[in-house]
Amino acid sequence: MERSDVRSLYLLAAFLVCAYAMPFLVGAWAGTVRLDERWLGNLATVVVGGVMQGGVYAMFALGLTLIFGVMRIINAAHGEMVMMGAYLTWVAFFYLGVDPLLSIVLTLPIAFVFGVVVQKLLLDAAVGAPELTGLLITFGLGLAMIYTAELIFTTDFRTIPYAPGTVQLTSAIAVGQNRVISFVLAVAISTAVYLFLKLSRLGKAVRATALNAEVAMVCGIDVRRIYLITTGLAAALAVAGGALVSIQFGFNPETGVLYTLQAFAIIVLGGRGHYVGALIGGLMLAVLENLVSLMVPNGTAMVELAAYGLMISVLLIRPGGLMGVKEG
């Protein structure tokens, strides 16, 4: 690690300590922080809730970071792929009567094929082109997906009443069943993808392509095939994320935009193209949002300000993000 790199890491660490201390300080000043047992229970519930949430966010951020890492394309349609996953799950649940978790087994292959098709038809043209090309192509794809979904499903909000009960972790900490299920699945799927990338031959080829596509090609890796697999995998991650989102929140064709933004903030925070960074970024973002909301007076209105403020600050202090990916 170079010296400037180390310095920016320390600076970032110091900044993050301040950022996370801020809600506590404001809360103490406003009198919303009470250090009794009940309040600490609230705090713990909120942090646990944030971690559960962050795990799911991290999973679809992983897909975004994968495409970016391998092809240097910012997939602006990633949130729409999440939305597509939510609708696939919804259709499977309400029309075919398939359990939302079981339906992941059905939807993942569909998502993979969808990703491959998108790569073939659209993204192949954007690889190696200026970054704006990929951004515009995927932006257009996202809009097309939104309006297609509106045609089929209308703009009505949908939700799936699945596992609505509660899990009492301790007497003070409760968390939703669906959240626990989502979190466990998100961690399992993310870990599987991570291990695939780390250990399998194909995964290593993906990483090699991410490091340097030309060298990978010289070494005999079929780079175009790697691109297909990458986008297929990213789409599958997004669709799986959509399934997990659909059992927690309401969604309509336009909610995808929100998830694109969230995934964006997460990978900027964690480090673009960095897989573990996405996980850490996801957890950090969700926990900070919840802390601000719990302690700052009228803090829920400031959640987005805090989240994107964090993103911008990280970009300024350490453009490569937490895990420090060097540009160029």
Q: Which residues would be at the binding site for another protein (CB under 8 A)? A: 32, 34, 38-39, 42, 45-46, 49-50, 53, 146-147, 150, 154-159, 161, 164-166, 168, 174-179, 248-255, 258, 286, 289-294, 297-301, 303-304
- Of 162 and 196, nearer to another protein (C-beta) is 162
Q: For residue 29, give Cα distances in angstroms to 33, 34, 36.
A: 8, 11, 16
H or E segment to which residue 176 belongs: strand 174-176
Enclosing H/E stretch for 251: none
In this structure, are residues 209 and 78 in contact, taking their beta carbons and an 8 Å threshold?
A: no
Tell whether the torsion through CA atoms of 126, 127, 130 and 135 is positive or negative.
positive
CB-nearer residue toward another protein: 166 or 200: 166
Tokens standing for residue 241: 């994320």
Residue 42 or 133 with smaller CB distance to another protein: 42
Question: What's the closest the beta carbon of residue 68 comes to another protein, in angstroms?
Answer: 23
Q: Residue 151 Cβ, how far from another protein at the closest point, in Å?
A: 10
Nearer to another protein, 231 or 293 (CB): 293
User: For residue 325, what are the CA distances in angstroms to 1, 76, 234, 274, 311?
Assistant: 11, 21, 20, 7, 15
Give the Å distances, CA to CA, from 221 to 68, 181, 194: 19, 38, 20
**Cβ-based nearer residue to another protein, 55 or 232:** 55
How does DSSP classify residue 33?
Answer: -
Q: How far is the CB of 198 from another protein (least distance, A)?
A: 31
C-beta of 173 vs 228, nearer to another protein: 173
Task: Compute the least distance from the CB of residue 35 to another protein, in Å.
Answer: 13
Q: Please report how close the Cβ of residue 293 comes to another protein at its closest, in angstroms.
A: 4
CA 204/CA 219 separation, integer angstroms: 12
* Closest approach of another protein to the CB of residue 286, in Å: 8
Buried-state track 276-312, b at ≥16 Cβ within 10 A, e below 16: ebbbbbbbbbbbbbbbbbbbbeebeebbeebbeebbe
| CB closer to another protein, 221 vs 294 | 294
Shortest distance in whole angstroms from residue 159 CB to another protein: 5
CA distance 149 to 142: 11
